[in-house]
Amino acid sequence: MTSYLWTRRFRELYDKAVDLFRAGNRDLESYFNTQEISFLSSIGLRPINLYDWAEDMVSVGEPDWNTVLMISAARRDYFLVHQKGVTQTSITESSELPPKDKELDGIPWLPRIIAKATCFLKGGLCHEIMYGCAGDRRFLKEHDIHPADFLRAVWASGGDKAKVLAFVKAARRD
Residue where one domain finishes, among candidates 50, 66, 84: 84
Same domain for 79 and 1, yes or no, is yes
Q: What is the mean pLDDT of residues 153-158?
A: 97
Same domain for 66 and 129, yes or no, is no
Mean pLDDT (the chain, rounded)? 95
Same domain for 79 and 98, yes or no, is no
Same domain for 59 and 110, yes or no, is no
Same domain for 71 and 95, yes or no, is no
Residue where one domain finishes, among candidates 31, 53, 84: 84
Can you give the pLDDT at residue 129?
94
Per-residue model confidence as pLDDT tens digits over 80-125: 999 999 987 889 999 999 999 999 999 999 999 999 999 999 999 9
Can you give the pLDDT at residue 87?
83
Number of domains in the chain: 2
Same domain for 58 and 95, yes or no, is no
Amino acid at 77: D
d(CA 68, CA 157): 22
Can you give the pLDDT at residue 2?
64
- Domain span at residue 99 reads 88-174
Residue 77, pLDDT above cutoff 90: yes
Can you give the pLDDT at residue 89?
82
Contact 21, 55 (CB under 8 A): yes
Can you give the pLDDT at residue 172?
78
Can you give the pLDDT at residue 3?
84
Residue where one domain finishes, among candidates 56, 84, 112: 84
Residue 174, pLDDT above cutoff 60: no
Same domain for 48 and 100, yes or no, is no
- At 41 the three-state DSSP class reads helix
Q: What percent of the chain has pLDDT over 90?
A: 92
What is the phi/psi pair of residue 93, to 5°? -85, 160
Same domain for 92 and 160, yes or no, is yes
- pTM of this prediction? 0.94
Same domain for 109 and 71, yes or no, is no
Can you give the pLDDT at residue 173?
59
